[in-house]
Structure formats: C-alpha cells, structure tokens
Structure 1
C-alpha cells in the first residue's frame, strides 16, 4: 500500500511541475493535493504496520 502513496506523491509532483511551467494554478494546486494525499496514505500504512508489529509481540 505504501506504493500507492508513493505513486500519488510522484503524480502530484508531476502535476505541480506542469502547472508551474504552464502557469496553470489549478493544476499546481491539484499536484500539491495529490502529494498530501500520498503522504497521508503512507502515514496510514506506517501506523497499520506499527500496530501489527505490536500485536505480534504481545
């Protein structure tokens, strides 16, 4: 699942770059949003992994 987060972050960076080059503020904003979504997905997966690790130890 962390791969999905990384994909969203990469997609967001690409959108943001294209938006900046073309002067498209909406595309730039969408790129930033995609990056934040990707970071959130990665954080969610990290938390799930941490909880799974704690359950196995107990």
Structure 2
C-alpha cells in the first residue's frame, strides 16, 4: 500500500481513521469494528465487502 494513499483514506461510514494490517491485507476501522479488504493492492471501501470484527477481537 502506498503511504500517501493510506494518509487520505478514511472509513466510508464514519469518516474515521483506518489502521493498515499488512499481514492480513486489510484496513481496520476501530469505531465501526469493520475490516475492509485489500485486493490486488486496491482497498475495497464498500460496506457490503467489509467484514464485521467480533467484539472479543483486539484491534
């Protein structure tokens, strides 16, 4: 992921910051507890494509 792109990307739902998890290949929104996948180096910022994170999972 390009560092400049990471600086401008925000959660499409709450407009909050995202955490980049390189080993998992996804972007995490702490506020909404959603994980957005990165496919072929392109973040998929669609709510329908996001994975809900379980309440017990540490972010």
TM range, smaller chain: under 0.3
Q: Which has the larger radius of gyration?
A: 1
The structure with the largest strand share of the pair is: 2
TM-score (norm. length: structure 2): 0.18
| Bigger relative CO (Cα 8 Å, ≥ 6 apart) | 1
**Which protein has the bigger helix share?**
1
